[in-house]
Amino acid sequence: MTLADRKFQRILLIKLSAVGDVIHTIPLFHALRRRYPDARIDWLSKPTPAEFIRNVPGVDNVIVYGENQTEAPQYNWDGFTHFVRLIRDHRFTAMLSRLRSARYDLVIDMQGQFRSGFVSMVTGAPVRIGFDRPRKAVWEAEGKTLPPGTIERAWKGAREGSWLAYTDPVRLPKLSIHAIDRYLLVGDMLGFEPAEPDLSIPVEKQAEQRIDALLRDQLGESTGPLIMMTPAALWETKRWRADGFAAVARHFIEKGYPVVLAGAPNEAAECQRIADAAPGAIMLAGQTSLAELAALIRRSAIVLTNDSGPMHLATALGKTAVALFGPTNPVWVGPYRRPDLVERADLGCSPCYLRSLSRCGHDHACMREITAEHVIQTMEAKMERA
């Protein structure tokens, strides 16, 4: 009997973070729900994405993974020692006990790290699906089309030995596919019916009401088109220049548009610097939950962002956006099926997949050479067509 012939009843989907990656996993969840309409499907997530996943129709339980790192993940000894400390925490062991007692018959791990592979094993599920280990023949072929050194730093398959936890690894035919399509390769094993990927995400009424209240406090009863900017990103190298965001904000403020700066609490200082350089900009960074951020995006006429979670939220919500790309590959992680939203300098050194500016030998040219004037022209053209 193949996996496609089996009727799974208790399923755990593992995708811990980050926000954009979780959004990429939503089409897989919707496909699972269509394939197994009567099954219990739980999702294991970190706390911040969990608040968002709880509102996705059809998710039976959201189980919170035992910590909420906001820094870039460390695929090294420090990351391993952090995990060792974590498994000594009674809250984490209680979570593991809960997962074990759920008696899942299928676990799908789309995180593909040591920690998620470990959790997959602990569940005791007889079927555990995750990505295969990096295959040299696959990533060497891909590497020939990228700048030197890029493929060694880029995602190539399950990491940190996590593939050893899976009973049924997903073999990758190539790397040059979007993350959403990569996750949906699981469907080839489970017998999904052909269907368009479902990116639909909920925006709860309470979140919309909260955003309406915040905007009324700032704008009164104004109903004009709103321009939203989310300047932050987890990697240093993904961030466009603060003076670039400020120049764009000043331009649209002078033309009478409300400009809102948004982001997580740990991004508020960066947003405030831009607001200080663009008098009149509305500072909402640190004041919204993830669900409220989605509601704010839905209220916006256009979103200016880096390669980050808000970009994927905007795409899922069908909103017009300008997404600034530098070190990452938009073919793999860009706005899904919307190459028209991507702006990049298109340099020979990009994508590089370097995370810190100290490692860039080109003075961050991939982002620095995207000019405010060009971004303004692009945004105005998109707004005219909308």
- Which residues of the chain form CATH 3.40.50.2000? 3-190, 205-385
Cross-strand pairs, 42: 12, 61
Q: Phi then psi for 259, rounded to 5 degrees?
A: -120, 125
What is the per-residue pLDDT for 73?
A: 45
Find the largest Cα–Cα distance for the chain: 66
Q: Of 144, 103, 143, 140, which Cα lies nearest the Cα of 125?
A: 103
User: Strand, helix or coil at 23?
Assistant: helix
pTM above 0.95, yes or no: no
Residue 367 reports pLDDT greater than 60: yes
Residue 66 reports pLDDT greater than 80: no
Give the least confident one: 41-45, 62-66, 313-317: 62-66
Q: Rounded mean pLDDT of 318-343? A: 96
DSSP 54-121: TTSTT--EEEE-S----SPP--SHHHHHHHHHHTTSHHHHHHHHHHHHT--SEEEE-S-SHHHHHHHH
| First-to-last C-alpha distance (Å) of the chain | 51
Query: Is-contact 150 162, C-beta < 8 A?
Result: no
Residue 383 reports pLDDT greater than 50: yes
Q: Rounded mean pLDDT of 121-128? A: 97
Residue 309 reports pLDDT greater than 70: yes
Q: Where are the beta strands (DSSP E) in the chain?
A: 10-14, 40-45, 61-64, 106-109, 127-131, 168-170, 227-230, 259-261, 282-283, 302-306, 321-325, 342-344
Give the least confident one: 63-67, 111-115, 153-157, 303-307: 63-67
Q: Does domain 205-385 have CATH number 3.40.430.10?
A: no
DSSP 178-209: -HHHHHTTHHHHHTPPP----------HHHHH
Q: Rounded mean pLDDT of 297-325? A: 96
Query: Is-contact 225 218, C-beta < 8 A?
Result: no
Q: How confident is the model at residue 80 (pLDDT cuts 50, 70, 90)?
A: low
Fold entry, domain 3-190: Rossmann fold (3.40.50)
User: Strand, helix or coil at 15?
Assistant: coil
pLDDT of 217-242, one tens digit each? 999 887 778 999 999 999 999 999 99
Q: Of 380, 383, 246, which Cα lies nearest the Cα of 320?
A: 383
Q: How confident is the model at residue 356 (pLDDT cuts 50, 70, 90)?
A: very high
- Bond into 137 cis (ω within 30): no
Residue 360 reports pLDDT greater than 90: yes
Q: Of 3, 193, 37, 236, which Cα lies nearest the Cα of 107?
A: 3
H/E stretch holding 122? helix 114-123
Residue 267 reports pLDDT greater than 70: yes
Residue 77 reports pLDDT greater than 60: no
Residue 76 reports pLDDT greater than 70: no
Token reading at 182: 């990569």
Residue 87 reports pLDDT greater than 90: no
How far is Cα 230 from Cα 171, in angstroms, rounded to an integer? 36
Residue 329 reports pLDDT greater than 60: yes
How far is Cα 131 from Cα 128, in angstroms, rounded to an integer? 10
